[in-house]
C-alpha cells in the first residue's frame, strides 16, 4: 500500500496541476481551478438573491443518494442537527433519483413550477447551468459573516467554479454553494469470485505496477469463464464511466479552452475503442444495466464507482475490496468528483437555508458521513484524510486517496454553452457505440457535429 499523502500537500498538488498547460491536460474534460477563465462570459444570472430573513420554519432539502443506505444516512444527519439544536429550523429530507440527469431535470422542472426544495445538492457539472439560468442564490452576503464557513477550508477545484462570476469570467466573487464531498472512482472487487475463477488479484497487480487496461480485460474474462450468471465487468451508463478511458488515453470531452467538442481527438477515440472492447464477447453485463445491483447480488466480479457506493457494499456478505482504476496510455484517467449544496433562488427563508448548508458542510458532519462510507470530506485537512483511511471496509481506502493524488481530471461545469445539451448528445452517441449499434468510426465522423449546438446557446 502506498503511503498516505497529506491533505495540505494534496490541495497544493491539485492546484499546481490545475495551472499546468502540458499537452496531456490540454484536452481535459474540465477547467481546473486556477486555469485561465473562459474567454466568453456566460449570461448573467437573471434572478437576484432574496434578502436574508430570520431563521426558523421548515427547510426542505434534497440529495441524490446512490442507494437506500446513503438516503438513510442523510436523513439521520438531518435529524441529528435538529435534535442537537445546531439549526433553528425544522427539516424535511427528500431523497432524489439516484442515477444520472433525471435528478437534475426534475429539479429544473420543480424550480420552474415553484415546488423545488429550499436546499439541494447538485453535481459540479451542473453549477453553471443553474447559475446562468438564475435558479440558485448567491450566498456570499451571508457567508462573509459566518463563523463556520471559509472558502479556503475546501479543495480549490470546486471553489474555482463555486466562486466564478459569469459577468467578469473570473473566480473569487460570488458563492453559489458549498462543496459537500469529493471522490474519485475505484473498482469494486468481489474477491470471492476473483479467487474462485483463478484470476489475478487486481490489488496485487496494482502493487506490482501491472494494473492496466489489458489486465482489466484479462481479469474480467477469467471471472466470467465460470459461466452462468457470473460476469466480470460492468459500469453505469453516464459520462464519467467512459470518460475515464478517454482521459486515460490522453483525450477528453472538450478542446483546450472548453469552447468546442474534443470527442473526435485521437485520445478520446482510443479510450472509446477500449471501452467498446469490454463489451465484445460475454464477460460483461450489458452497458447501462445497473452494475451495482449485480455486484451486490454476488454475480459481478468488478464494477467502477465512486465512494458513494460504499454504504451499499458494506451490506454484502462476500469478501470485497476496491482497487484504483487501471492505467491507460496516459495514466489512470480518474476524475475528481465533487458536488455542492446550493440554495433555491426563491427560497422563502434564505437565512435558514444557509444555516443548514453551513451545518451540512462542517468538519463534524462531514466526518460522520465519511465514517458511514459515502464520500471523502471536501475540506482540506490532514486529520480528515487520516481519519478517512480508518473507515473500513473497504480495506484499501488508499485507492481513493491515490486517485486524488494521481492528477485526476476535475469535474466542472461548462460556463460557455450548455452542459445538459452536450451531455445528452454525447451520451446518446456513446451508448450506441457501447451497445454495438454504431461503429467507432461513425462516432468519430459525426460526434462533434452532433454536439455543436450545445455551444451556440
Instruction: Return the HEC string of the chain.
Output: CCCCCCHHHHHHHHHHHHHCCCHHHHCCCCCCCCCCCCCCCCCCCCCCCCCCCCCCCEEEEECCCCCHHHHHHHHHHHHHHHHCCCCCCEEEECCCCCCCCHHHHHHHHHHHHCCCCCEEEEEHHHHHHHHHCCCECCCHHHHCCCCCCCHHHECHHHHHHHCCECCCCECCCCCCCEEEEEECCEEEEEHHHHHHHCCCCHHHHHHCCCCEHHHHHHHHHHHHCCCCCCEEEECCCCHHHHHHHHHHCCCCCECCCCCCECCCCHHHHHHHHHHHHCCCCCCECCCCCCHHHHHHCCCEEEEEECHHHHHHHCCCCCCEEEECCCEECCECCCEEEEEEEEEECCCCCHHHHHHHHHHHCCHHHHHHHHHCCCCEECECCHHHHHHHCCCCCCCCCHHHHHHHHCCCEECCCCCCCCHHHHHHHHHHHHHHHHCCCCCHHHHHHHHHHHCHHHHCC
Q: Which of 385, 379, 386 is nearest to 358 (CA)?
A: 379
Q: Which of 230, 247, 171, 135 is nearest to 15 (CA)?
A: 171
* Residue indicated by cell numbers 465522423: 445
* Residue indicated by cell numbers 474567454: 39
Q: What is the pLDDT of residues 297-335, one digit of tens each?
A: 999 999 999 998 998 899 999 999 999 999 999 999 999
- Cβ(230)–Cβ(221) below 8 Å: no
* Residue indicated by cell numbers 447559475: 131
Backbone angles phi, psi at 26, to 5 degrees: -65, -25
Instruction: Identify the segments of the chain with pLDDT beneath 50.
Output: 1-54, 457
Give the number of other CB atoms < 10 A from CB of residue 84: 10
| Interior angle at CA 8, CA 7 and CA 14, nearest 5 | 85
Q: How far is CA 409 from CA 14, 245, 346, 379, in A?
A: 10, 12, 33, 18
How far is residue 427's CA from residue 439's CA, in Å, rounded to a whole number? 15
Supply the pTM of this predicted model. 0.80
- Cβ(315)–Cβ(196) below 8 Å: no
The predicted structure's pLDDT at residue 56 = 63
Backbone angles phi, psi at 342, to 5 degrees: -130, 165
Backbone angles phi, psi at 376, to 5 degrees: -105, 135
Q: Which of 46, 110, 137 is nearest to 342 (CA)?
A: 137
* Residue indicated by cell numbers 464477460: 283
Q: How far is CA 138 from CA 90, 174, 206, 276, in A?
A: 23, 6, 44, 42
How far is residue 295's CA from residue 305's CA, in Å, rounded to a whole number? 11
Amino acid at each position: 500500500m502506498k503511503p498516505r499523502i497529506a491533505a495540505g500537500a494534496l490541495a497544493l498538488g491539485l492546484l499546481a496541476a490545475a495551472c499546468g498547460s502540458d499537452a496531456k491536460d490540454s484536452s481535459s474534460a474540465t477547467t481546473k481551478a486556477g486555469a485561465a477563465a473562459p474567454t466568453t462570459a456566460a449570461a448573467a444570472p437573471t434572478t437576484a438573491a432574496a434578502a436574508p430573513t430570520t431563521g426558523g420554519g421548515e427547510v426542505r432539502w434534497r440529495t441524490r443518494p446512490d442507494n437506500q443506505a446513503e438516503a438513510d444516512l442523510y436523513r439521520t444527519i438531518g435529524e441529528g442537527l435538529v435534535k442537537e439544536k445546531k439549526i433553528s429550523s425544522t427539516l424535511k429530507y427528500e431523497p432524489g433519483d439516484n442515477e444520472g440527469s433525471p435528478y437534475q431535470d426534475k429539479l429544473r422542472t420543480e424550480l420552474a413550477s415553484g415546488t423545488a426544495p429550499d436546499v439541494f445538492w447538485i453535481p459540479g457539472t451542473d453549477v453553471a447551468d443553474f447559475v446562468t439560468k438564475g435558479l440558485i442564490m448567491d450566498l456570499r452576503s451571508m457567508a462573509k459573516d459566518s463563523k463556520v464557513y471559509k472558502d479556503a477550508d475546501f479543495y480549490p477545484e470546486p471553489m474555482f467554479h463555486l466562486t466564478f462570476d459569469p459577468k467578469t469570467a473570473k473566480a473569487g466573487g460570488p458563492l453559489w454553494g458549498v462543496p459537500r464531498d469529493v471522490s474519485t472512482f475505484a473498482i469494486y472487487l468481489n474477491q470471492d469470485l476473483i479467487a474462485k475463477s483463478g484470476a489475478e488479484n487486481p490489488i496485487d497487480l496494482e502493487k506490482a505496477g501491472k494494473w492496466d487496461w489489458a489486465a482489466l480485460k484479462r481479469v474480467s474474462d477469467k471471472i466470467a469463464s465460470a459461466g452462468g450468471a457470473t460476469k466480470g465487468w460492468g459500469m453505469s451508463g453516464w459520462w464519467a464511466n467512459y470518460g475515464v478511458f478517454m482521459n486515460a488515453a490522453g483525450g477528453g470531452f472538450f478542446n483546450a479552452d472548453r469552447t468546442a467538442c474534443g470527442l473526435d481527438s485521437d485520445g478520446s477515440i482510443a479510450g472509446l475503442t477500449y471501452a467498446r472492447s469490454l463489451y465484445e464477447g460475454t464477460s460483461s453485463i450489458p452497458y447501462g444495466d445497473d452494475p451495482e445491483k449485480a455486484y451486490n447480488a454476488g454475480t459481478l466480479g468488478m464494477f467502477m464507482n465512486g465512494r458513494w457506493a460504499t454504504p451499499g457494499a458494506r451490506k454484502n456478505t462476500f469478501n470485497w475490496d476496491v482497487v484504483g482504476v487501471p492505467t491507460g496510455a496516459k495514466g489512470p484517467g480518474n476524475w475528481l468528483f465533487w458536488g455542492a449544496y446550493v440554495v433555491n433562488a426563491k427560497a422563502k427563508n434564505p437565512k435558514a437555508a444557509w444555516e443548514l448548508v453551513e451545518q451540512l458542510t462542517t468538519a463534524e458532519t462531514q466526518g460522520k458521513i465519511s465514517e458511514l462510507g459515502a464520500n471523502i470530506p471536501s475540506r482540506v485537512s490532514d486529520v480528515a484524510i487520516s481519519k478517512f483511511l480508518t473507515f473500513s471496509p473497504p480495506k484499501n481506502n488508499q485507492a481513493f486517496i491515490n486517485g486524488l493524488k494521481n492528477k485526476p481530471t476535475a469535474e466542472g461545469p461548462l460556463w460557455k454553452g450548455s452542459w445538459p445539451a452536450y451531455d445528452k448528445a454525447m451520451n446518446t452517441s456513446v451508448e450506441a457505440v457501447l451497445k454495438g449499434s454504431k461503429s467507432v468510426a461513425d462516432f468519430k465522423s459525426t460526434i462533434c457535429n452532433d454536439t455543436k449546438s450545445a455551444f451556440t446557446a
